[in-house]
Structure 1
Amino acid sequence: MKQSHLPMARHRIWVWFLALTLWLPQTHAEDMEIHGSNTIGATLAPMLVEGFLARQGTGPVRVRSNGKDNEKVLTGKHAGATVRALVAAHGSSTGFRALNNGTANIWASSRPAKAQEVAEMAGRANLNDLDSEHVIAIDGLAVLVHPSNPVSQLSIETLGRIFAGEIRNWSELGGDNQTIHLYARDDRSGTWDTFRTLVLGKAYTLASSARRYESNDRLSDDVSRDPSGIGFAGLASVRDSKVLAISDGDAPALKPNQLTVASEDYPLARRLFMYTPGKATTPLAASFIDFVLGEEGQAIVSRSGFISQNPIAVKPELDNSTPQTFRRLTENYQRLTVNFRFSEGRTRLDNKARRDLKRVSDFMSRNNRSPDDIMLIGFADQQSNELRAQMISELRALSVRKALSDLGVGDIAYTGYGHYMPVGMAGGDSGQQRNGRVEVWVRSR
C-alpha cells in the first residue's frame, strides 16, 4: 500500500524542486555579464571592459566571439584572478529581462528604466536610486541622410511626419523629387524607444514601409548608399552619412556635437545607462561601474565616439537670436560641457547632476581654477510672468552653488536668466526638464 504512494511522492518532490529552481536567481555562465543595448554593446561596452581588465597590467585581454550574433566574450585578469566577461547586445529591453531574472550582472540601456521595470525590480533594488542607475555616457540620436541630400535641418514635428509616412517626397522639404525611404531600429532597441518617445510620441506611428535594423552601423551604412534614405542612429554610428540639424519648438536648430550633446541642449540627446541590482551588485560589477564613471573610463567613452562626461571648456557659437545682454554676460567666459538638470520640482538635482558636481570640482582642481573663475547661469521653462521665471532660474543656480559649496567649492557667482533662450519646446515634463537647467561658465584665460 505504501509503495503505491511512491510515484506521487516523487512527483511532489520534482514539482517542489522545479519551483525552487525557478525561484532562485540563475547562475552566471561568465564572471560578469552585461546584457542589453546594441548602441552600448556593439563597441562601447567591450572597450570599457577591455580597459577595465587591462588596467591591471598582468597580461593581454582577449576578445572573441562566442558564436552568437552581437555577443562578445572578453578574458583578462582582475585582482590576480582570470575573469571572463560577456557582452550581449540584443536591445535594451532584453537587458532588463536578463537583470530581472538574474542572468545579467549589469543591464546596458540606451533609455531610462520604464516605470513598469522599476516596479518589477522594486523588491530587490530601486532602479531610480543612485546606487543602481549609472549614466555612463551621453549620445546624440543622429538623423542621417545621404551625403548628396540638400536638406540640412528639420524640426522634430516634421521628422515625426516623415517617419509616419505623411511626408513622402523630398521635394516637399526643399529636396530633390525622390520618394523618401525610411530606415529605423528594431522594436527591441533603446534607440528605437528614444526615437519613438522624442519624435513620434503619441501623435504618430512608424510607417509600415520602414526597414528595421538590429545594428546602428548597418542602418547608417545603408542610408549612406541611398540618396532617398533617412534614418536615425547613435552618434557613434554616423560613419559616411550626413547628419541633419534638429529643432524643437521655437528653439534654434542644433547639430549634435560635443557641447550640444554633452550639455543635452541638442533635442535628440540622450543618456546611456548601466543599471545594477543595488545591494546585490557583485564586487566585480561594482568595481567595473566605478571605473566606467571615473575619469579613465570616461576617456574611453570619448575614444569610442560617444560623448564623455569629463567636462571641458569650449567657446560656444552663439545663435543670431542670442540676446545682447547674454553676449555681454558671457563674453569673457567659456562654457563647460555640462548642464545641471533636476529630477523633481525645481531644485532637486538628478542622479547625473549629483555625480557631475564632483566632475566640476575635479575640473577646477586639475586646471588650477578658483571659485572666482566660475559662473552659474540658471534657466526656467516658460512661466506666467517674467518675475516668476527669474525667481525659479535663480533658485536653480543657487541650489547648484550650495551643492558645490558642500564639496568645498564656495562663493561661486550665480545669476538667473529667466525663461529666455529655451533649448526645447516650452511646457510639459519635457520642457521643464530641458529648459530648466543650470549652465556652468568658466572665465577665459
Structure 2
Amino acid sequence: MTSNLLARFSGRALMALCALAMASAPVHAETLEIHGSNTIGATLAPMLVEGFLAGQAGQPVTRRGTGEANEQILTGQRANTAVQALVAAHGSSTGFRALDAGAADIWASSRPAKPSEVDRMAGRADLRDLTSEHVIAIDGLAVLVNPGNPVNQLSIETLARIFAGEIRNWSDVGGKDQAIRLYARDDRSGTWDTFQSLVLGKTYTLDPTAQRYESNDQLSDDVSRDPAGIGFAGLASVRNSKVLAISDGQAPALKPNQLTVASEDYPLARRLYMYTAGNQTPVLAREFIEFVLGEDGQAIVSESGFVSQNPMAVKPELDGQTPDTFRRLTANYQRLTVNFRFSEGRTKLDNKAQRDLRRVAEYLAQTNQSTDDVLLIGFADQQSNELRAQMISELRALSVRKALSDLGVGDIAYTGYGHYMPVGTAGGDTGQQRNGRVEVWVRGL
C-alpha cells in the first residue's frame, strides 16, 4: 500500500516524511490504510491505531494531516520497523471501493456489507465470514434536538414522518409552535444508511429541505444551536445536544446508554465494522484487528465515546410492562451488557456472537464466578403460537449453553421466555432480529 499512501501527501508533507525516515534507525517501513466511515474514522480509528502502535514499541505516536479533510497519518514503530497508518474517513461506501480496488487494508463501515458488495468481493474473500467481518464496537444512533426542546421521546414511526416532511411543526408532537428544521448525514455515510434502513425504510423518503453533513460532530453542534432543529448522529457525537428516547412499536421507549446499546435492545443501536480481505489480509492489518477486538482495544472503544463489547454487569431498570414472573426470576441477578442474537426463527449464532462467547467466558474467569452464578434466558421473535415460541426461545438458550460449554464453561442454567417482552416491532426484520435473543444474567457481585 506504500504507493497509495505516499500519493496522498502534499509536497511539504512528503518532504517531512522523508526527513523523518532518514533520521530514524529503521530502514524498512510498513503501511496500514483504513478507509471508510466518518463515524469510525473521525476519532475511534486514530485512537485505536495509536493504542496499537504505542503498545507495540512503547514509543510516542505522531499524527499529521494529509492536506485533505477527514484524513490523518499516524506514524510510530513496530519492533524495529517504522509504521505509517493512513485513516481516510469519507464515508462507508468509499471504504468498500478502496478495499475492492486494493487501495485499503481495512474498510471501516458503520453498516453491514451490502449483498452487492459481498458478491463483488466473492472472488477474493467472503465478507460475511468471521475472517473478514469484524464487529469493533456498538453505536447508538442518537436522535438529537436543542437542549431547550420540551419533547423527550418519539416513536420510530413519528420520527420517520418528521424526516419525510409529513410532520412539519413541533406542536404536532408535543413541542412548541415552530417549524421543524431537519439535519441529516450525507449519502456517502453509513450513519445515513442506518437511519434510512431503521427509520425511513421503504415507506418514507427524506424531505429535500434537510441540510446534509459529512461530519457527525458538525451536525450535532448545529442542532444544539437551533431551537427548531432535529438530527441524528453517532452516540459519540452527542456533544451539547439533547438525546431523545425512541420507541419501536409497543416496546417501551429507550434512551441509548451502556446497557441498551451494548445489548442492542435500543431500537437505533447499530454495529460498527471493520472488513478485511480474509486470508489475503496483510499481517499488520490482521494483528491490528486482533488488538481492536481484544480487551485493550475495546477499552479504547469505550474511551472514545462508543460502547465497548467488554461485558459489564448492570442492574437494569425494569419498566412497568415487565411481568412479575420475570422480576422474580431475575431478582438476585444482574444482566451482562451482551446479547446473543439470531435471525428470525434460527438458532445459529452470528460472527459477533462467536467473539462474545469468548468474552463471556473470560469475564466469568476474571470475576471468579462459577457456572452456578449464570442464567441464560432465551427469547423468540413473534410466532404463530406460544408453544412454538417457547420451543425456539429454549433452543436458542440451549445453543448458547452448548457453545459456552465447548469453551470450557460447564453446564449453565437456562430457560426460555417465549415471544414475550419484545424489544422491537414483531413485523419488521430489525425488530425480529432484536427480539430473537439470549440474555446473560449473573448473580450480583
What is the TM-score of this pair, normalised by structure 2? 0.93
Structure 2: how far apart are the matches of 1:345 and 1:178?
Answer: 45
Contact 1:26 1:102 (8 Å CA) reproduced: no
SS in 1 for 2:337: strand
Shift of 1:429: 2.6
Moved over 4 A (4+): none
Shifted more, 418-427 versus 49-58: the winner is 49-58
Shift of 1:387: 1.1
Cα deviations across residues 339-388 of structure 1 (Å, max 9, x unaligned)? 00125751100000011000000000100011001000000011111111
Contact 2:344 2:432 (8 Å CA) reproduced: no
Match of 2:286 in 1: 286
Aligned-partner residue type, residue 354 of structure 1: Q
SS in 1 for 2:116: helix
Cα deviations across residues 195-245 of structure 1 (Å, max 9, x unaligned)? 000000010000010000000000000000000000000000000000000
Cα deviations across residues 234-280 of structure 1 (Å, max 9, x unaligned)? 00000000000000011000000000000000000000000000111
Contact 1:71 1:88 (8 Å CA) reproduced: yes
SS in 1 for 2:328: helix
Match of 1:19 in 2: none
1:353-432 equivalences under 5 Å are 353-432=353-432
Match of 1:441 in 2: 441
Return closer, same or farther for 1:434/1:409 CA change in 2, 3 Å cut-off.
same
Shift of 1:430: 2.2
1:324-343 equivalences under 5 Å are 324-343=324-343
**Structure 1 vs Structure 2 CA RMSD:** 1.1
Shift of 1:410: 1.3
Structure 2: how far apart are the matches of 1:65 and 1:393?
Answer: 51
Structure 2: how far apart are the matches of 1:113 and 1:56?
Answer: 31
Structure 2: how far apart are the matches of 1:189 and 1:237?
Answer: 15
Give unmatched runs, 5+ long, in structure 1: 1-24
Structure 2: how far apart are the matches of 1:80 and 1:425?
Answer: 54
Contact 2:425 2:432 (8 Å CA) reproduced: no
SS in 2 for 1:29: helix
Number of aligned positions between the proteins: 421
Cα deviations across residues 35-93 of structure 1 (Å, max 9, x unaligned)? 00000000000000000000023421001111110000000011220000000000000
Cα deviations across residues 93-117 of structure 1 (Å, max 9, x unaligned)? 0000000000000000000000000
Contact 1:138 1:270 (8 Å CA) reproduced: yes
Structure 2: how far apart are the matches of 1:124 and 1:168?
Answer: 48
Match of 1:29 in 2: 5
Identity between Structure 1 and Structure 2 (%) = 78
SS in 2 for 1:83: strand
1:11-30 equivalences under 5 Å are 27-29=3-5
Match of 1:101 in 2: 101
Match of 1:16 in 2: none
Cα deviations across residues 155-177 of structure 1 (Å, max 9, x unaligned)? 00000000000000000001000
Structure 1: how far apart are the matches of 2:329 and 2:117?
Answer: 44
SS in 2 for 1:221: helix
1:244-323 equivalences under 5 Å are 244-323=244-323
Contact 1:27 1:102 (8 Å CA) reproduced: no
Match of 1:66 in 2: 66
Contact 1:335 1:440 (8 Å CA) reproduced: yes
Structure 2: how far apart are the matches of 1:157 and 1:370?
Answer: 44
Match of 2:112 in 1: 112
Return closer, same or farther for 1:64/1:108 CA change in 2, 3 Å cut-off.
same
Match of 1:200 in 2: 200
Structure 1: how far apart are the matches of 2:56 and 2:268?
Answer: 37
Match of 1:22 in 2: none
Cα deviations across residues 117-169 of structure 1 (Å, max 9, x unaligned)? 00000000000000000000000000000000000000000000000000000
Contact 2:343 2:432 (8 Å CA) reproduced: no
Structure 2: how far apart are the matches of 1:304 and 1:312?
Answer: 17
Structure 1: how far apart are the matches of 2:113 and 2:3?
Answer: 24
SS in 1 for 2:88: strand
Return closer, same or farther for 1:26/1:65 CA change in 2, 3 Å cut-off.
closer
Cα deviations across residues 380-423 of structure 1 (Å, max 9, x unaligned)? 01111111111110000000000000000011000000010000
Structure 2: how far apart are the matches of 1:311 and 1:142?
Answer: 22
Shifted more, 190-199 versus 52-61: the winner is 52-61
Match of 2:212 in 1: 212
Structure 1: how far apart are the matches of 2:58 and 2:162?
Answer: 53
| Max Rg structure | 1
